Amino acid sequence: MDGQMAASLGTEFVKGPEFPVAYNVTDWPMGSIWEYNLTDDAYWNDGVQFTADDVEWTLELQIGSNLMTYWVHQQYTRWIDHVEKVNDFKVRIFFSDYDTKKPTPVAFGNSIFMPIFPKHVFEKMPWSYLAQDGIGYHAIGTGPFQFTAKAREEIAYNASVTLIRNRWYNWTDDDGVAHGLGVTHRRDLQVDKLIVKFFSEESTLALSIRTGDTDMGEILPGTYMSWKADPSLPKNIILQTTLSPTSYSKEVVLNAYPESPGTLNALRLDP
């Protein structure tokens, strides 16, 4: 959308912290403002509902003076001017040039792939925690599984990590109303616990599958073809190919400009 449409939907274009330079509706061309509707049925695995506050906080944390600290998503954040929370389940992102602050249309508004963090967990931590000091101890998400209290120890010292069912993925309140992403997407979770194992060699993984120590794993194409022709393959092993439409191609979203993240920050390895 453009500035005029955003204004008609409630955005107040007034000179101030949000609009220090481009504070007129006509300053914002079509494509410089993107609006996103969020699901209202996602819950973090501690039971707190996912809202626009999480999106606004996560994005605002990585722009402006923090751009060079939170550099992993600079291909997006370099262009984000600010984020407006419209309501609990809707946000608008305003895009502008990092140097000039001139409102800029972007073509990648529907291709922003960034993890959103739970504001209520991290907002009181030092600004550097997520960027540099975080050790994964406060792992939290909205998916069907979650870490256990031993996650930190398992990640540091074990060859496996235990995941248990996230009760907030599919739950029912006191009035008998079902909630959660599992309900929204009609996914009934049948597994209570997963033990994710790590193998340094594919041959070790293959042996673990054949001996029954591992229930499921992803093997290389060569191993798959060999097992498919192997008459001695245990009968309880079911071979399945799950080739996606993009198995033979790569989806690449390019955000090319003269000062790419690789030139902005010498620590980045991407071009």
- CA angle 192-197-200, nearest 5°? 170
The DSSP H or E segment spanning 64 is none
Reply yes or no on whether the pLDDT at 250 is more than 90: no
Domain range list for the chain? 3-133, 145-198
The DSSP H or E segment spanning 67 is none
Q: What is the pLDDT of residue 135?
A: 59
Distance CA 217, CA 205 (A): 7
Reply yes or no on whether the pLDDT at 14 is more than 80: yes
Contacts of 233 (CB under 8 A, 6+ apart): 210, 227
Reply yes or no on whether the pLDDT at 246 is more than 60: no
Pairing of strands 80-87, 33-37: unpaired
Spatial contact of 41 and 184, defined as CB atoms under 8 Å apart: yes
Mean pLDDT of the residues in the chain = 86
Per-residue pLDDT tens digits for 52-104: 999 999 999 999 888 887 877 888 999 999 999 999 999 999 999 988 899 99
**Backbone φ, ψ for residue 131 (5° rounding):** -80, -35
Position 228, amino acid: K
Contacts of 159 (CB under 8 A, 6+ apart): 197, 198
Looking at domain 3-133, its CATH superfamily turns out to be Dipeptide-binding Protein; Domain 1 (3.90.76.10)
Position 101, amino acid: K
Per-residue pLDDT tens digits for 17-64: 889 899 999 999 999 999 999 999 999 999 999 999 999 999 999 998
3-state secondary structure of 189: coil
Q: What is the pLDDT of residue 64?
A: 85
3-state secondary structure of 86: strand
Alpha helical stretches, state H, 23-138: 52-61, 74-77, 119-122, 128
Position 168, amino acid: W
**Backbone φ, ψ for residue 261 (5° rounding):** -55, -30
Spatial contact of 105 and 95, defined as CB atoms under 8 Å apart: yes
Distance CA 118, CA 134 (A): 14
Distance CA 131, CA 70 (A): 5
| Residue-level length of the chain | 271
